Amino acid sequence: MRMRRKRNLEPRMEACGQILLARGKPCRNLKEAAETFRAPVDYGAVFGNDAPVELEVGCGNGGFIAELARRAPEKNYIAVELCTNVVLTAMERIVREEISNVRFLNIPAEILQCYIPPHSIGRIYLNFSTPLPEAGREKQRLTSDRFLAIYKTLLAEGGEIVQKTDSAPFFDYSLRKFRENGFEVRDVTYDLHASEWAAENIVTEYEKNFSEKGMKICRAVAVYRGEREGENAEL
């Protein structure tokens, strides 16, 4: 079922234009865009400082990134969301709550390297990404080989990916893929809310709903320390 287009979508998107860095695809073919198009974000110009930058891929309604930015005003954040209806809700939240250290990309994650400067991100957050268990959709999973190759072009030396999910099979898949792609995996738990990391955890709206239904939340940190891949990750 397709999401109904928000009322006055375009005027509302324009009203949030000061925090929207890019929207849509620079060209129809994603592979061509990933290989040829570059419009790197100038962090100093965008944020007005040289603070460290972190990235959330699939920010949803923006609850996580808003709370994260409040907790760490000394850092800057870029939130990525493909669905325009959804990213609008997140942007309006940030504007309404007057949070100054968050910006947005309304683009497919396949072309992140078109906008994020190489090796400039300290941490990538993957919160409750769609598991896509069907075998034919593996390449679309946000922890598949092709996406991990993209993240490696973005992460600074010793950069991290922090994943949370309610799907244990997807979590097991991700842990395997992290290791196969040269990541060091640490801080692994299959029950985040009962773990030593529970106190620092930001509970998202989805997470609260899952937890109230008795579902356990999985979490891990993957650190990349291996040899860097080329700048053009394969789609």
* pLDDT tens string 67-83: 999 999 999 999 999 99
Residue 231 has pLDDT above 50, yes or no: no
* pLDDT confidence bin for 27, thresholds 50/70/90: confident
Residue 13 has pLDDT above 90, yes or no: yes
Residue 139 has pLDDT above 60, yes or no: yes
Please name each of the domains of the chain with its CATH number.
31-160+169-184+191-224 (3.40.50.150)
Instruction: List the one residue out of 230, 217, 131 whose CA is nearest residue 177.
Output: 131
Query: What tokens were used for 210?
Result: 């899952």
What was the pLDDT predicted at 7?
A: 83
What was the pLDDT predicted at 135?
A: 86
Between 24 and 124, the more confident residue is 124
> What is the reported pTM?
0.92
User: Distance (Å, rounded) from C-alpha 147 to C-alpha 133?
Assistant: 16
pLDDT digits (tens, 9 = 90+) for 176-225: 999 999 999 999 999 999 999 999 999 988 898 888 999 999 999 999 98
* pLDDT confidence bin for 3, thresholds 50/70/90: low
